[in-house]
Structure 1
């Protein structure tokens, strides 16, 4: 982050700050603003990431790549991913011997500074002098004070970022010939008491009037470079506090590293060189039939119909891959629900990236409503940042994927779409987990209750009043999400890991017909990006699912904020929590690093009986 030279015979200076590699795809990714000791910077785009002679650490995952390519095209037609090296860890730097060639370059932003002495407001290059790495201002003949970055900038919902138009804002009726701006702040920090004034013409204006700006966004993208990186934009600029929680929302897509399934015997025979050299040219079933007269071909496809052989050829050639690709979480759910049964002495293969075992029913001791318990002793998850937004987060669909094509405002990109950087920053999490599945028939019966339908209508009205523009996730998701938070809290009390170190992964899909009953499961995981794994505490506690479900049931029955929490009406005109039913900081909210949905779409009344609500709403009406 900091540039410095190591002089001969002296100890090297330390960097201004440090950022973990895993944080470079979440909190501090490209386009994020970061406070250093004496100034503020914006993290550079992928063009500004350097890996030096050692090169990058690739975290490629073909399944996730296939899922992301069409979504990147919807974000910008010029975005693409390379055939290899398309997911990369952030570069690792030596903070004791920094080099501009290795690491992520940060660009100074904002460019306006304010004097801590006299409150003079000006561009750093125009109003202040730089000395010893800091900007200074000569307030008077006998007084010199340091200048610091102004804490207000301008941005739009597309992620564009620019300096706040201070001169234009202070002068409502035209800028004077020699602006001399000052930023006067009150003791309370209230924006109504923050005044921008020009002492040349005596113009004054409170910052509270900046909530609605008449200025159009110029499409600035300083994290990508200079003016050449700007793009047209017709949105209005909005005031943004650099360090506010809504200044940066990273869109991260993750996928569990699933080993590719072993090919069937027919595919193995078709892959033999002498067989493949002939059959790879077959473009129809009739051509396959004509090749069947060759003895070695006839021996390879013996016992299989011509239609099956041609389908295997098409799959091997890669034709129709996009059409047949399973959504991310559907493929993971299928693998989890078809995990082999755990047996004494059965261990995961050495070096395995993923291993899951179903606990037999006689040992799982599952209560009514729960159908399957699976432990995951070997777990790896790849997380990739795709884009970012400001002011509002962008919701993923139930598969954890972003449908950019249907958003009215597209998020910002991490690299120039027409540039040469055809990769995305990524991190790999290694750890363990426990998965449980609800009884799908019980879930469907619960969804058909009149009380649940009425509650769903209430939540839907509140969701529509919120005006987010996303798809309503449905009562099934509210149930799974709320149950996940309750169980996460209950498990963390005994598993040895803090609640903030446990993360949920929800598998939810509505029923389609009697054959396809959708998905209804939750995977709780814990892991890190900097070690080989964890200590097994979550897996061992997962075997006691009934015990933890009982604890979760007790936790959800009563909230410290009841009856106010239980009686919350999200559709009420005065409600400020449109996306939650009976949920608050006293019962369901967890650390945001543990939750996939920023503590939204929660309602414990759908899980357990609560004060003032019909017990028929609860999926677990009786204590497990």
Structure 2
């Protein structure tokens, strides 16, 4: 796709290009992007244009039902339309750009600095736009290029504004701001922020940028990606310094769900749903009552047919429960249940062309399962919908174990992608078509492992460290095991399946989300790309060799290149900078962040395999599989 600056109507070509999938993750609405000679912020959904051909809908009713209450927790006015509520980003054509097709990007920041004399000012006040690039006349008849300043101001609610250069430069001046400001940004080659000065040549006031770490200014609620000051909102946060290109400048909250086909409806329940039939039987609770109704009403008799009366009563009860249940099942619980109930794989089966989901349980006589692993499900066809809900700055917001975001209980909520009171009742989405391998651990073995004294002691240690970190809810020791196993298995499989490790993505199924739901304990590896690389078939075939890959994973986890330092890492120590990891580092467990759902947090290989200096009782796979 292509995007355009705010004055796109005057442009003949798009000013930059991004992949469509990047608009749902790294460069969504509110993200800052560098162009060749200026910087922009990606516009909100109001600034996305689809042209005559319209949008590509990626609607998924199950995911929509899950997201609506979460959106309203962000803002009561947020909602999703009945149709077209998930849309792919617009596809632009760089060879034939059209002003109304693509994404408008608004110029930001609005302050520039001269590359020659270091004059600092708003672009419209001291610089001239010459052929699309800002120039500054430093001396008589001498023009120099100007670049957007790299420092901006933001807050934890995602608001974004120009850095308050004028009051900041005069922070230590007794009389405050002078009458005629003339600011310069003085930098040097050392790169130390304490050596960067903001100086006013008019009054000789100056302030070092190291004082910008704590700003005394209140955030004014700017949302430039929505356009104009009318989009601002009240904010109770303090401004904070932000470098435009910093890694913590943008965190997208993305929710994903597998496209699960609706189960085949029961023919009896379909007949009972007839308006006249249901009106007659919806209050029936016993076989005697049903027999009486059938005797009096021929259309009820016809709908029931030869079905046993107790089966009809069960169908009526199921219909009543379905109509009274207004809550949507958690995303991962529904997926897990579909996986564990997958049909046995017939020999030589090939999914039908165009099918969105196909999963088969591999019979145990065809595979060699090690102790602790209950079963293997291969998924030759799957489609995953990924939807961006919001974004944050400075801190990432973790999803719960269901992959969903609990915005309702948060004091500081992330930023929205569109004006809540506007007409854009949809969210940007991308669809991944690929394959997967689902590895289910034995629940009995998992339960016994969790009760080991060494494991419980380790859980207490990780909990103390997590509380020191102070973010979110502790996921539990089982999650640490599953997440670490997922990383080791992903690395082992990627060496032989034909996919790059960054093209494989994990999906963790852990814990009990519902009182009557399954107690989940499984990991699934899927191809994690929106391109054609997601359907090569190598992941499914290598998944059938699960014992071999578990052995490779076991060998990978036994020894790290940073041992014994890595294995002996104490996350609860005051000197530790990794409070959410046990024995884990770049040498053993960390993988590409596009493959990990949890930003390489909550990892400990000592819970999977025996490691140097740790009690072997910690390891779920104490012996080589």
> Shared topology, TM-score over 0.5?
yes
Q: 1:615 to 1:30 in 2, by over 3 A?
A: same
- Conserved? CA contact 1:279–1:291, under 8 Å: no
> For residue 436 of structure 2, what is the aligned residue in structure 1?
433
- Tell me how far apart the structure 2 counterparts of residues 280 and 477 of structure 1 sit (CA, whole Å): 48
Question: Contact 1:66 / 1:322 at 8 angstroms: preserved in 2?
Answer: no
| Equivalent-residue separation in structure 2 for 1:33 and 1:145 (angstroms) | 25
Q: Secondary structure at the match of 2:236?
A: coil
| Contact 1:112–1:149 (Cα < 8 Å) also in 2 | yes
Structure 2 residue ranges without an equivalent (≥5): none
Change in Cα spacing, 1:352 to 1:156, as seen in structure 2 (3 Å) is same
Once the two structures are TM-superposed, the CA of residue 357 in structure 1 deviates from its matched residue by: 1.0
Q: Does structure 1 retain, via aligned residues, the 8 Å contact 2:112–2:146? A: yes
Does the CA-based 8 Å contact 1:60-1:84 persist in structure 2?
Answer: yes
How far apart in 1 are the matches of 2:217 and 2:282? 59
Matches within 5 A, 1:10-49: 15-49=14-48
Secondary structure, counterpart of 1:585 in structure 2: coil
Displacement, 1:573? 0.6
Structure 1 residue 460 corresponds to structure 2 residue 459: no
Contact in 1 for aligned 2:385/2:431 (Cα 8 Å): yes
Summarize deviations over 1:598-617 as a string: whole Å, max 9, x none: 00000000000000100000
- Which residue is equivalent to 1:178? 180
What residue in structure 1 maps to residue 529 of structure 2?
Answer: 528
Q: Deviations over 1:472-503 (max 9, x none)?
A: 00010000000000011111111111111110
Aligned to 1:547: 548
The answer for unaligned runs of 5 or more in structure 1 is none
Cα distance, 1:374 vs structure 2 = 1.0
The answer to whether residue 308 in structure 2 is matched with residue 303 in structure 1 is: yes
1:606 and 1:213 mapped to 2: Cα distance?
Answer: 43
1:322 and 2:323 aligned: no
Instruction: Mark the CA change 1:213 to 1:511 in structure 2 (over 3 Å): closer, same or farther.
Output: closer
User: 2:570 matched to which residue of 1?
Assistant: 569
Q: SS of the counterpart of 1:528?
A: coil
Moved more, 222-231 or 301-310: 301-310
**Cα contact 1:434–1:524 (8 A) shared by 2:** yes
Residues 1:540 and 1:461: Cα distance change in structure 2 (over 3 Å): same
Secondary structure of the residue aligned to 1:209 is: helix
The DSSP-based 3-state class of the residue aligned with 1:575 is coil
**1:410 matched to 2:409:** no
Decide whether the 8 Å contact of 2:489 with 2:553 is kept in 1.
Answer: yes
2 CA distance for matches of 1:533 and 1:128?
A: 48
Shift of 1:531: 3.5
Q: Distance in 1 between matches of 2:8 and 2:405?
A: 43
SS at 1:81 equivalent = coil
Output the CA distance in 2 between the equivalents of 1:530 and 1:14. 26
The answer to whether the 8 A contact 1:527-1:534 is kept is no
Aligned to 1:498: 500
Change (3 A) 1:340 1:204: same
What is the root-mean-square deviation in Å for CA atoms of aligned residues?
A: 2.1
Q: Is 1:13–1:96's contact at 8 Å kept on the other side of the alignment?
A: no
Partner of 2:355: 352
Query: SS state of the match for residue 431, structure 2?
Result: strand
The alignment partner of 2:385 has SS state of strand
Whole-Å Cα distance in 2 between the matches of residues 180 and 281 of structure 1? 83
Structure 1 residues 345 and 378: alpha-carbon distance in aligned structure 2, compared to 1, 3 A threshold: same
Which string of whole-angstrom CA distances, capped at 9 and with x for unpartnered residues, describes residues 8-41 of structure 1? xxxx965332101111010000000001111111
Change (3 A) 1:286 1:521: closer
Structure 1 partner of 2:261: 259
> 1:332 is matched with which residue: 326, 331, 335?
335
- Match status 1:445 vs 2:454: no
Displacement of 1:303: 2.9
Change (3 A) 1:385 1:189: same
CA shift, 1:282, in A, is 7.0
Aligned mates of 2:392, 2:493 — CA distance in 1: 33
Moved more, 540-549 or 297-306: 297-306
Secondary structure of 2:16 counterpart: coil
- TM-score w.r.t. the length of structure 1 is 0.94
Evaluate the alpha carbon distance shift between residue 369 and residue 118 of structure 1 in structure 2; reply closer, same or farther with a 3 A threshold. Answer: same
Contact residue 486 and residue 552 of structure 1 kept, 8 A: yes
User: Does 1:361 pair with 2:364?
Assistant: yes
Sort the Cα spacing of 1:13 and 1:85 in 2 relative to 1 into closer, same or farther, 3 A.
closer
Residues 309/554 of structure 1: CA separation in 2 closer, same or farther (3 Å cut): closer
- Taking the aligned partners of 2:554 and 2:377, their CA distance within structure 1 comes to 21
Q: Which residue of 2 aligns with 1:168?
A: 167
CA distance in 2, matches of 1:473, 1:129: 55
Quick one: distance in 1 between partners of 2:494 and 2:623?
A: 23
1:475-486 correspondence runs (5 A): 475-486=477-488
SS at match of 2:179: coil
Query: Offset of 1:344 from its aligned partner?
Result: 1.3
1 CA distance for matches of 2:534 and 2:501? 17
- Go from structure 1 to structure 2 and tell me whether the alpha carbon gap of 1:248 and 1:380 turns closer, same or farther (over 3 Å shift): same
1:374 is matched with which residue: 377, 387, 394? 377
TM-score normalised by length of structure 2? 0.94
Q: How much has 1:320 moved relative to structure 2?
A: 2.9
Task: Compare 444-453 and 530-539 and name the one that shifted more.
Answer: 530-539
Is contact 2:566-2:584 (8 Å) kept? yes
Aligned residue number for residue 238 of structure 1: 240
The aligned counterpart of 2:210 is: 208
Q: Which moved more, 1:278-287 or 1:601-610?
A: 278-287
Please list the CA deviations of residues 557-585 of structure 1 after superposition, one character each: whole Å capped at 9, or x if unmatched.
00000011000000001110000000000
Closer/same/farther in 2, CA of residues 283 and 75 from structure 1, 3 Å limit: farther
C-alpha separation in 2, matches of 1:594 and 1:307: 48
Q: Name the CA distance, whole Å, in 2 between partners of 1:581 and 1:593.
A: 22
Alpha-carbon distance in 2 for matches of 1:264, 1:241 = 58
Does residue 199 (structure 1) correspond to residue 201 (structure 2)? The answer is: yes
The 8 Å contact of residues 280 and 313 in structure 1, kept in 2 or not, is answered as no
Which secondary structure state, in structure 2, belongs to the residue aligned with residue 371 of structure 1?
Answer: strand
Alpha-carbon displacement from aligned partner over 1:90-149 (angstroms, at most 9, x marks no partner): 000111222221111110000000110100000000110001000000011142111010
How many Å apart are 1:194 and its aligned residue?
1.0
* Change in 2 beyond 3 A, CA 1:143/1:285: same
Give the whole-Å Cα distance in 1 for the aligned partners of 2:353 and 2:399: 34
The SS at the match of 2:408 is helix
Residues 430 and 532, structure 1, Cα contact 8 Å, conserved in 2? no
Q: Is residue 2:153 matched to residue 1:154?
A: yes
Task: Return the offset for 1:308.
Answer: 3.6
Match of 1:319, SS state, is helix
In the superposition, relative to structure 1, how do residues 5 and 367 fare at CA in structure 2: closer, same or farther (>3 Å)?
A: closer
Which residue among 220, 223, 226 is the counterpart of 2:225?
A: 223
Q: Is the 8 A contact 2:9 2:99 kept in 1?
A: no
